[in-house]
Chain A
Amino acid sequence: MIRENTIFYTDRAKSTDVLMSHMRKENKLLSEKNMNKNSLNNWSECLKRISKDKDAIAFRHLFEYFAPRVKSFLIKSGGSVTQAEESMQEAMATVWQKASMFDPQKASASTWIFTIARNKQLDAIRKINRPEPEELPWMETEQSDARDAIIIQEEQINLALAVSKLPKKNRDLIEKAFYGDLSHSEISKLTKLPLGTVKSRIRLSIDRLRKELGKKLQ
């Protein structure tokens, strides 16, 4: 069981001496595993532990990685440092609260946390009201396949790789778009990005979900 064998803790986590007392009970085994190589998997595992066990160590681990990034994202979106800090804390609190709704078969943890940060950004900094779609019903079934989750994560790695190979001009475009800095005429350029495989993979996951839900309702 992966839960006992906390393969995803890095030495970085060990060095944090501010852990709350109730976290100390946790037996954390540290590993030399390369964080980058495994980060995507690990964050999913963290979110599962937050949702199932209210695991504050897993949350701290996630926090250390994502909080500074989310804050930077919010600052670049036009927030003051103070506002970005506050909004980041609220976003991270939402991550904790909604952890049970994270579906690793549909999105990586980075993507899911991005959507929470983005909604906070729109709400608190850019003051844009963006209605959300109906939630896809999702459930963990016996057959819930770790394979799907891994494929989704691999797609994200592939996409990250593809993005890193783009000309700087195009990478800037993506950043501008998500910081809310892109004109309407520029936005169409986003659609030229290599998203085809990611899209079809997500589509497959949704189809599978619908099928399973249909089976359950019968």
Chain B
Amino acid sequence: MKTKHHIPSEILSAYSTGSLPEAFSIIVACHISLCDHCRAEVEAFDTLGGVLIDNEERANIDLNSFEQTMKLIDKQNNSCLASGKKSSDIYPTPVKNYFGGSIENIKWKSVGGGIKQAILVNTKDASARLLSIPPGAQLPDHSHKGLEMTMVLQGSFSDEIDNFYRGDVELGDDNLTHTPKAGMDEHCICIAATEAPLVFNSWLPKLLQPFIRI
């Protein structure tokens, strides 16, 4: 399946340079695990980093720097590298890593309306969670404070903008008020990252709570 909704260049460059909050980096890592188009762009920014290293000044290194490094290498005693295991299921490896590599460890919490969420990360600048939305169910009508990114892992959702399928990313900002609705076929599972707590325009306060205070 071909991804239709990609991640903008400035976010990909922020990912490459490490300027992106972790919550958003999860989505980029998941998206480029599925999307070669955006992966190539991230790696193009990395190439810029390669040029930077080539042009970098030469700092004085310690006299025994090389020997120390060889000692470190000996200590590593050839512990085998984690092989690039490919996730065949719906959760890309970057998500699984938040659950100790096993999706059985995902702790879903009901937030009402059949919708469930599981927090991936919550830092002061941004948070990310998994959302599971029953077929046909609607997320509360909300607008955003700051950036919101949502990526579909399973099923689909649609809103005023378009339809979104596995791998697709939707971006929301201050200007977007939308009402995402899950596709009818199956539960829609997605990752959502938000820069600041969502501000709901209209919804039951009890539903509001779990979304805001995570």
Contact = CB atoms under 8 A, between A and B. Distances in A.
Whether chain B is bound by chain A comes out as yes
B57 A160 contact: no
9 contacts: A60-B66, A73-B53, A73-B56, A89-B68, A134-B94, A156-B47, A156-B51, A163-B51, A195-B45
Given A110-B51, A163-B48, A184 B19 contact: yes
A137 B86 contact: yes
Contact of A198 (B14, B44, B54): B44
Given A72-B58, A187-B13, A203 B40 contact: yes
Interface residues of A, number: 80
A39 B54 CA distance: 10
A2 interface: no
B57 A69 contact: yes
Interface in B15-41: 15, 17-20, 22, 25-26, 28-30, 32-33, 36-37, 39-41
Contacts of A113: 50, 53
B61 A67 contact: yes
A171 to B, nearest CB: 9
A13 interface: no
B62 interface: yes
Given A133-B32, A190-B10, A110 B87 contact: no
A56 interface: yes
A36 B73 CA distance: 28
A6 B49 CA distance: 28
Interface of A: 18, 20, 39, 56, 60, 63-64, 66-73, 75, 81, 84-85, 88-90, 92-93, 96-98, 100-101, 106-108, 110-115, 117-118, 121-122, 126, 128-137, 155-156, 159-160, 163-164, 174-175, 177-178, 180, 182, 184, 187-188, 190-191, 193, 195, 198-200, 202-203, 206-207, 210
B13 A190 contact: yes
Interface residues of B, number: 64
Contacts of A70: 53, 56
Given A66-B53, A155-B47, A180 B17 contact: yes
Interface string B157-190: 0000000000000000000000000000000000
B83 to A, nearest CB: 8
B45 A190 contact: yes
B201 interface: no
B87 to A, nearest CB: 7
